[in-house]
Structure 1
């Protein structure tokens, strides 16, 4: 288990494959997908929706949504006046509240599903709720040898489906590790390096996300509102926890 960081109480990694390697049944996995899955989850949950992550946006997603009597989120470009629910955080802020929302995502949802299969607690973290997530982890006793924390930056995909690490998720992970405030000796080298990379630029995190590749892509596609929602650092006190297949507020 060399690559599982098992001798550390606080771990960090990238993407679905490393999440499966790092997660522990007695611990908590924090999924970080700043642009835009976990930001969208946070907004939907703080508005009162239960969010059901789903790995694929295809016919099976529509069938799943129908089976649980939920609204299915569509792609950003497919939003209409009659169906305003999508992966877009800005669209979700403006859309009518729905009790159940199925939110497909090939990155964040896939990681969440794998973690559930392990038995771990799963939390959706982002820049928007980083301090709230850190406080929740401390209150719940996570970040100790008996209850390890795994912070996973989801990353994106290249055209060949390989993992593309992205700055926005690294910064989101660093913000959560900073908010957790675990002693240095509990951090794996990977988690310590992520945290060390975040702290010197914390004051500039909004500008960095806007200017990085992921931020520029959304701005150029006309979704600058999604970037603005994602960089609203610590705007939310909601901590979405995955229970019975849906993200709901930990306080509920």
Structure 2
């Protein structure tokens, strides 16, 4: 056990891609938390019965990949109007049952696939599917919750409070006693913000970025709690619900 592994505890928390690289080998499942907006987009789609195919690059190869697997491809940029899907949660909320959508989102996708390749179960969690995600994780003994954060222009990690608070909410909903200090601190952050109905998070950096660009509706969708009753699990290359996986088996 390395000093950074949180190996004495069943429920652990660490940030970003490095969390997978250094901690995923000692857990049974991971929860990828990227609230604004990867995990929220995934939850909205899966709740409607759609499949989300994460894709780690925002370039023309995403469209080629979508054509190869018979899926639509979301535009990597948010936009105010027009047809098709984008990385804006508002553009995805009415996606149809059975639809397949490629979501080119480097941060959430990279963490998802890195965790999958570690040979563990992978879930995407956010405020919208907080309880459903916690319920799905209860059957796993060792759980790693990964707030993804964002990236500064130089590529370094920018920890995001909304990811941290949602991670704490998921951990709290698991109702497990054996949590690392890092996990317990996130639970405390959740409890503080939950008492205020997440209103303070409307002023966090990520929310202000979206608001200043005119995407207030995305902020509203990202900060809704337990609107979805479906967990989002990565099966192969796609996020689906457990029910959808069983019906297709």
What is the TM-score normalised by the length of structure 2?
A: 0.92
The offset of 1:157, in angstroms, is 0.7
Residue 110 of structure 1: SS of its match in structure 2? helix
Give the equivalent residue in structure 2 for 1:105: 105
**Mapped pair 1:130 → 2:134:** no
Encode CA deviations 1:1-31: one digit per residue, 9 max, x unaligned: 2212222211101111122212137611000
Change (3 A) 1:225 1:76: farther
Q: Is 1:16–1:111's contact at 8 Å kept on the other side of the alignment?
A: yes
Deviations 1:86-126 (CA, angstroms, capped at 9, x unpaired): 11111111455662111111211110010010011000100
Cα deviations by residue, 1:148-172 (Å, 9 ceiling, x for unpaired):
1000000001111110001110111
Alignment partner, residue 56 of structure 1: 57
SS in 2 for 1:152: strand
Give matches, 1:87-166, under 5 Å: 87-95=87-95, 99-138=99-138, 141-142=139-140, 144=141, 148-166=142-160
RMSD, aligned α-carbons: 1.7
- In the TM superposition, structure 1's runs of 4+ consecutive aligned residues that sit over 6 Å from their partners are none
When residues 249 and 121 of structure 1 are mapped into structure 2, their CA distance, relative to the original with a 3 A threshold, is same
Moved more, 236-245 or 1-10: 1-10
Distance 1:251 1:124, change over 3 A: same
Alignment of 1:1-252 (within 5 A): 1-24=2-25, 27-78=28-79, 81-82=82-83, 84-95=84-95, 99-138=99-138, 141-142=139-140, 144=141, 148-183=142-177, 186-252=178-244
TM-score scaled by length of structure 1 = 0.91
Q: Distance in 2 between matches of 1:163 and 1:101?
A: 27
Verify the 8 A CA contact 2:78 2:88 in the aligned structure 1: no
Segments of structure 1 that go 5 or more residues without pairing to the other structure are none
